[in-house]
Structure 1
Amino acid sequence: MSSTQVQASVLHGAKDLRIEPRNVPAPSEHEIQVAVHSTGLCGSDLHYYNHNRNGDILVREPLTLGHESSGIVTAVGSSVSNFSPGDRVALEVGVPCDHCHRCEEGRYNICKDMKFRSSAKSFPHFQGTLQGRINHPAKWCHKLPEGMSMELGALLEPLGVAIHAYRRSLMKPGMTALVFGAGAVGLLAAAVAKTKGAKTIIIADIDAGRVDFAVKNGFAHHGFVVPMKRGKDTEENLAIARETADGVAKVADDSGNAIGEVDVVFECTGVPTCVQAGIYATKPGGRVMLIGMGVPIQTLAMSAAALREVDLVGVFRYANTYPEGIEIATSASAPDLSKLVTHKYKGLESCPDAFGMAGRTKDDAGKLVLKVVIETA
C-alpha cells in the first residue's frame, strides 16, 4: 500500500484554519490506518483555535486539531492481528513512552514523554484527527460494539476523563456528590457517578438551561443555579464561595431533607469561586476532584480544607478507561449520553462554523450547545 493523499484542517494562527492536502503513508508494522468519521470539539481545541495557544502552550508549527474521535479501519500493519479493514474504532489519542515508571505502573496519562494528538506540548506537534485518514498504534485503538454510533464512539474520550476522575475520587455506592459545571465533562462526571450508584448527585452551573437539561435527562438528581456574583477582593470572593456552598447544602433530597455537605465534589469549571465553594461544600474527610483547567494560580481556603482533611485531588486526562467507557455508554442504567451531542457539522470545510458554535452556550434558535461533532466521512 502506497501513501494516500487526504485533506486536513490545519491551524496557521488564531482563527486561521486552512484545508490542505497531506500524504498519509501506509501504516507501519504496529499501526492501523483509520478513516476518521466523527470528531468532537473540546475546550483545548477552542483555546488553540481562538488564541493559537492553550495556556502557556504555544503553537509553534501548523497544527491539525481534534482528538475526540472515531472512525473506520482502512488498512492494518503487518503485525496487527486484532483489527481488520471495516472495523469501527475509537481512537485513544495519547501515546505514552511505555517504559517509564509511571507507564509501568499503569499511570501512563502522566508520562513525561506523552504525545497527545492536537496538543502543541510536544514538538514536532502530534497532529490531530481533523483529517481524512490517520495512522495510529493499534494498541491505542478500541473496537466499537455493533449498534454503538460513531458519535458515541467519539464521546468515549471525554467520558474517559469522567471515569478517571471517579476512580480517583474513591467514591462508593450510596455516597453524595456535587458537580460544578454542567458542560459535557461535568455531565459525564455526573453520569458516571450516577451509574456507579451515587445516592444523590447535585449539578451546579450559572446556566439554568444546562442545569435543567442535566436533571430532566437523568444525569443528576438535583440542580443548583450558581448566582452570578464577583467580589472586589479575596475576602469577598471567599464569602461568595461560602454562600454558594450554603445554597447547595440547602437543596432538598427526594425525602425533602436538606442534602448538606457532600462526600465528593467534581469541579469541572476551573473557576476560582467554584473551587473555593467546592472546599466549603465537602464533608470532613471528603474529596474535591480538580478536573477543570482554570486559571493557573488559584486562591484557596487551604485551612478550610486542611482542618477538615478535605483532599484536593488533581485529574489529568485518563488511563485504561475505554473498555469501561464502552460498558457505561451502552448500559441501560446510564443516561443517554448521545443527547450530549447537540450540534453536528459535515465536512472539513465546516470547521470554522463548528468551532464558532462550540464557543457558544446557545445557538441562534436558543438551543443549548453542549458537544459539537464534526463528521468527516
Structure 2
Amino acid sequence: MPDTLLSPHPAVAAKAATTMQAAVIAAPQTVEIQDTSLPEPQAGQVRLQLEGCGLCASNIPVWEGREWFSYPVAAGNPGHEGWGIIDAIGEEVTGFAVGDRVAALSYNSYAQYDLADADKLIKLPEALAGKPFPGEPLGCAINIFRRSDIQAGQTVAILGIGFLGALLVQLAKHAGAKVIAISQRDFSLQVATGCGADEVIKMDDHWQIIEKVKSLTNGKFCERVIECTGKEWPLNLAGELTAERGKLIIAGFHQDGMRQVNVQLWNWRGLDVINAHERDPQEYIKGMQEAVKAVEAGILNPDPLYTHTYALADMATAFENLSNRPDGFVKALITF
C-alpha cells in the first residue's frame, strides 16, 4: 500500500491510445482489471485522465451482490468520486480546456479514463495542486451541513464517524456548535476528537447513550442530530437524542430495505425529519464548488481522513477493506 497520497501529475493522453484499463465487477466479490476501449467524448462531454477516485460505502452492495444487480457491471462502475486532467473535449463544450484539472460527477471512474458532462465538472485551483479531491463526497458533506441548519451555540450529535461524519464534525465546529460524536469503533472516536468533537460516546448500549447525552445537555437533548450510518438502530437512537422541535437529519444511505422507526416519538417531540440526500446533479456541483472554497479556507481538512490508497490492480483488496473496515480505515482512494 503506498505511503503517500500524492500522485505524479499525469501526462496528457497520447493521441494513438485506443484502450485503457478499468476495473470490472464480473460477479459478486469478483473484480477483474480489463483492457477496454478508450471512451470518446460526445457533444457536451469531456474525457478525464484520472488521477484518482474515492471509494464510497454505497459501492458495498454491488460488490457483495444483491438480487437486483446484473453482472458484469459496466467497466469502471460504480466509481463516482473521480478527479483528474481533461485530455479530450467534445463539441459544444465551453469554459474548459485540455489540461484543466477538475473534479467530476461521473459514474465509471474505477478506470484510467472516464467521460463527464461539462456541466458536471468543477475546476480545481492551483492551491489544491497535488492534493486528492474526491469531489462528490466533499460536496455531499457541504450539502448535508447546509440542510442541517446548524447555528452557533447549538448542540449537535453526529452518529457514525466515517469520512462523512468526520467532515460534518469539522463543519459543525466551525459553525460554533457543541459537537457530540457517537460511533462504534474506538479509532473513529479518536478521529472525531481530532476533528474537534467536544464529547465522544461509544455506540454500544442504546439506553446508556441516551442517558449520557441527556446528562451532557441538562436533559434537553440536541437541537440537531445527524445520522450517518445508514442503519436502523442508529436511526432510532438519533430520534431519541433529538430535542423537542429539533431537526433529525438523515445523512446515512439507507439502501438495503425497509426501516421501522418510532414515529410516535418523532410526532410527540415535533421533530423536523430531513432526508439530506440530493438528487439534482447541479445541487451536487454547488456543494462541490463550496467544498473547494472550504478546503482552501481551512474550514474542511480532509487530508488526514484519506487513510488508505490502492492501485487499480489492488481493487479487490480495496473493496474488501471497504466492506470490513480494518482498524484505522476511514477513506480509501484508488490512485493512478
TM-score strictly above 0.5: yes
Higher mean displacement: 277-286 or 313-322 = 313-322
- Tell whether 2:274 aligns with 1:313: yes
The verdict on how the C-alpha distance between 1:246 and 1:205 changes in structure 2, with shifts beyond 3 A counting, is: same
Letter in 2 for 1:274: P
Alpha-carbon shift at residue 2 of structure 1 (Å): 7.9
CA shift digits 1:138-163 (9 cap, x unpaired): 11011101131565311x21122222
Within 5 Å, give how 1:47-62 maps onto structure 2: 47-51=61-65, 53=66, 57-62=68-73
Q: Which runs of 5+ in 1 are unaligned?
A: 94-116, 118-127, 230-239, 252-256
- The code of the aligned residue for 2:198 comes to H
What TM-score, normalized by structure 1, do the two folds share? 0.77
**Counterparts of 1:356 and 1:61, CA distance in 2:** 18
Counterpart for residue 371 of structure 1:
331
Equivalent residues, number: 314
- Is 1:165 equivalent to 2:178 in the alignment? no
Tell me the distance in 2 between the aligned counterparts of 1:315 and 1:57.
25
Compared CA separation, residues 373 and 83, structure 1 to 2 (3 A): same
Cα–Cα, structure 1 residues 316 and 60, in superposed 2: closer, same or farther, change >3 Å? Answer: farther
Aligned runs of 1:166-205 on 2, under 5 Å?
A: 166-195=145-174, 197-205=175-183
- Conservation of the 8 A alpha-carbon contact between 2:169 and 2:179: yes
> What is the alpha-carbon distance in structure 2 between the residues aligned to residue 219 and residue 355 of structure 1?
29
Contact 2:151–2:177 at 8 Å: present in 1 too? no
Are the structure 2 counterparts of residues 26 and 362 from structure 1 closer, same or farther at C-alpha, using a change threshold of 3 Å?
Answer: closer
Q: Say if 1:308 and 1:258 are closer, same or farther in 2 by CA, change over 3 A.
A: closer
Distance 1:150 1:49 in 2: 30
Report the Cα offset of residue 259 of structure 1.
8.0
1:20 aligned counterpart, secondary structure: strand
Q: Structure 2 residue aligned with 1:245, among 175, 190, 210?
A: 210
Per-residue CA deviations over 1:351-376 (Å, capped at 9, x if unaligned) read 1122222223335xxxx100111112
User: Following TM superposition, by how much is the alpha carbon of 1:247 offset from its aligned partner in structure 2, in angstroms?
Assistant: 1.6
Counterparts of residues 69-148 of structure 1 (less than 5 Å): 69-93=82-106, 117=107, 128-148=108-128
**Which residue pairs with 1:68 in the alignment?**
81
Q: CA deviation at 1:34?
A: 0.4
Contact 2:294 2:300 in 1 (8 A): no
* C-alpha spacing 1:62/1:213, structure 2 compared with 1 (3 Å): closer
Q: 1:157 and 1:57 mapped to 2: Cα distance?
A: 25
Give SS of 1:153's match.
coil
- Which residue in 2 is equivalent to 1:41? 55
1:7 partnered with 2:21: yes
Counterpart of 1:59, as a letter, is S
Once residues 158 and 129 of structure 1 are traced to their aligned partners in structure 2, the CA distance between those partners, rounded to angstroms, is: 14
The change in CA–CA distance for 1:369 and 1:298 in structure 2 (over 3 A counts) is same
Q: State the TM-score, normalized to the length of structure 2.
A: 0.86
Among candidates 29, 37, 42, match of residue 23 of structure 1: 37
* 1:262-282 deviation per Cα after TM superposition (whole angstroms, max 9, x unaligned): 111110112222111211111
Identity %: 23
**Stretches (4+) displaced over 4 A:** 257-260
Aligned to 2:233: 273
Report the CA distance between 1:84 and its aligned residue: 1.5
Asked whether the equivalents of residues 48 and 59 of structure 1 are also in contact (C-alpha less than 8 Å), the reply is no
> 1:162-181 CA distances to partner (integer Å, 9 max, x unpaired)?
22222222222332210000
Instruction: Tell me if structure 1 keeps the 8 A contact 2:167–2:300.
Output: no
Q: For 2:56 and 2:64, how far apart are their aligned partners in 1?
A: 12
User: Residues 351 and 337 from structure 1, CA distance in 2 versus in 1: closer, same or farther, beyond 3 angstroms?
Assistant: same
Alignment of 1:338-349 (within 5 A): 338-346=303-311, 348-349=312-313
Equivalent AA in structure 2 for residue 292 of structure 1: G
**Residue in 1 that maps onto 2:190:** 212
AA aligned to 1:345 is Y
Query: Do the aligned residues in 2 keep the contact of 1:29 with 1:77 (CA within 8 Å)?
Result: yes
RMSD, aligned α-carbons:
2.2
Q: Give 1:114's aligned residue.
A: none
- Do structure 1's residue 328 and structure 2's residue 294 form an aligned pair? yes
Q: Is the 8 A contact 1:34 1:71 kept in 2?
A: yes
Question: Aligned equivalents of 1:134 and 1:84: distance in 2?
Answer: 16
